[in-house]
Amino acid sequence: MTIFIQSLDYQLWNFIVNGPKVPTKTVKGIVTPKSENEFNDNDLKLLLNSKAKHVLFMWNLLEVTYEGTNQVKQSKISMLVHQYELFMMHDDESISDMFNRFTTINNSLKNLGKCYPN
């Protein structure tokens, strides 16, 4: 996601990491925020708030779509833990097929944040 956001606009990534930068002006030694009609081109580049919100919204949407909500994630973990705990070789299965199936279960658990030590 970092690379994707940086490819859209590198300043956008800085904005997400460091927070918003409000354009300011100094009047009689006092720093105050500029009003929108005082913004110049450089000030507008600093105001990437809506673009950042859009990218983060899309990221959250993709995350829920492909990983599911917390409830779906917990359900997947539960199912995979069940498969892991009851894992055994099937009668018509080769050792390499069994190993591939075991690796798939472990990798799926790891991707969902549940890891078993060696």
Structure confidence by residue, pLDDT tens digits, 68-85 = 777 788 888 899 999 999
When the pLDDT of each residue in the chain is averaged and rounded to a whole number, the result is: 81
Same domain, 6 and 60: yes
Asked if residue 48 belongs to a domain, the reply is: yes
Same domain, 85 and 60: no
Q: What is the pLDDT of residue 47?
A: 66
Asked if residue 118 belongs to a domain, the reply is: no
CA gap 69, 35 in Å, rounded: 40
What is the domain extent for residue 13? 1-68
Same domain, 7 and 64: yes
Q: What is the pLDDT of residue 89?
A: 92
pLDDT at 118 over 90: no
Token pair 């100094």: residue: 26
**What is the gyration radius of the CA atoms in the chain, in angstroms?**
24
Alpha carbon of residue 108 to chain centroid: 17
**Model pTM?**
0.45
Same domain, 24 and 9: yes
Q: What is the pLDDT of residue 94?
A: 94
Last residue within a domain, chosen from 37, 53, 68: 68
Same domain, 23 and 38: yes
21 vs 67, 94, 112, CA distance in Å? 32, 60, 35
pLDDT in tens, 18-44: 766 777 888 888 888 888 788 887 777
Same domain, 39 and 3: yes
